[in-house]
Amino acid sequence: MKMVLASKNAHKLVEMKDILSQLGIEVVLESDVGVDVDVEETGTTFEENAYLKAQAVCQASGLPAIADDSGLCVDALNGAPGVYSARYGGPGLDDVGRYKLLLENLRGQLDRRGKFVSAICCCFPNGDRVEARGECPGTIAYAPKGEGGFGYDPVFFVPGLKKTFAQLTAEEKNAISHRGNALKQFKTELENYLHGIDK
């Protein structure tokens, strides 16, 4: 089965391929099937945004489409940046600018708890959909550490491993990350769907 990833993010493609290839599913980019959809993420939850993206690409391509919407939720900021993680601080900021703004907004704050959240939605041409959600708890570091990853990874600290996401190998990150957890759940839900098993 071929599935279109409703994203232009190459990092997401690698993570999706790693897990879904085990089910014999080939994940391709929108550009691979001649589709270029720009979806306005108007949802107020990760689940709503994942559905909006998957549905739009499924309709445009005529193929099953999978989307992930993810972000960082910080307790002391009432869950911000949340669904606005990729747009935090406005269009002028890059990844580094966004995590610097986050650290600035947490200056003097002792409660550094937060979590990464990932919602995955797969829409099928017949109208069916399969969904999953994964989370990874952690804390926000006082300064960035590590060269790997992207986004907020350099400031997201995992106490159990004593490292930020940016200091983890791809294998270590996939084993505990929000997207890794969501993909594991999604794999089970999709297997059930493909085998016609009703929960």
Q: What domains can you pick out in the chain, each with its CATH number?
A: 2-194 (3.90.950.10)
pLDDT score for 115 = 98
41-58 pLDDT, tens digit each = 899 999 999 999 999 999
Find the catalytic residue in 38, 69, 94, 95. 69
How many whole angstroms separate alpha carbon 81 and alpha carbon 22?
33
Handedness of CA 170, 172, 48, 91 (dihedral sign): negative
Helix (H, G, I), strand (E, B) or coil at 3: strand
User: How far, in Å, are 29, 32, 98, 103, 144 from residue 92 at the CA level?
Assistant: 26, 29, 10, 17, 20
Task: Give the pTM.
Answer: 0.90
Is 111 considered catalytic here?
no
124-158 pLDDT, tens digit each = 999 999 999 999 999 999 999 999 888 999 999 99
Does the pLDDT of residue 199 top 70, yes or no? Answer: no
pLDDT score for 198 = 55
DSSP string, 66-116: EEEEEEEEEGGGTT-BGGGGGGTT-TT--HHHHHHHHHHHTTT-S--EEEE
- How many C-beta atoms surround the C-beta of residue 28 within 10 A? 16
